[in-house]
Chain A
């Protein structure tokens, strides 16, 4: 029973990924649509990471002792200054773990 559920789930995740890559699909993207879509990466990725920082169990956490907030702020500054991904992620993680330890979050 579970097996059928899993296979149907796999069909759904694959379809959402593959559908618009299929050449026979009768849609043609206009110049305007392509320009709108050019903003999709910053839009979706931001919509994934920002709630991780600010929302815990359906509550907004803006406290300055929130380790997520401190770690993310440092990471944003490092990334904006042109550091590579390893430095940004590494220092961001260390700050986060340190703050978590200090504030017993």
Chain B
């Protein structure tokens, strides 16, 4: 955990690459290097507010995920549809990875982001597989769809390295584990002296 000092890095991309690599290794998450490269690019890009938020008359805001899905459904071309699905997947991954502690007990919690993002990448993978030049990117989207929850775990690890602990964390960790089955949350609970019981988990669907 951070002790409040500022970490100096020469390149944000390098920082995210190293941090993701370390977190993935800690979570025993194997990622193809193309997938790792894709995720690092998403993190680097979204570290700029103008890339992450959208400009609206009320200022920079994030569109609800359901509306991003509606944009994909209403797209006039396959390119527009894929762009909308990719943004949905990327935003879901970033928010679930870095703001998992922020939306506790809301209608759209981390499990919702995992479901929406995973399905968006899954749809992209299906479309890319049939496209003439889409096979390599199909592999990336397939891996992102299949390992979305584990990736969120790894990004939570990256985020927690830069975040001071707070008193709500234990409860939130338990809630995360209940909702998503996160192995990282289970591991952290054990480190804190709590044994998560399998019978306590509920299957949630959105």
Partners in one complex: no
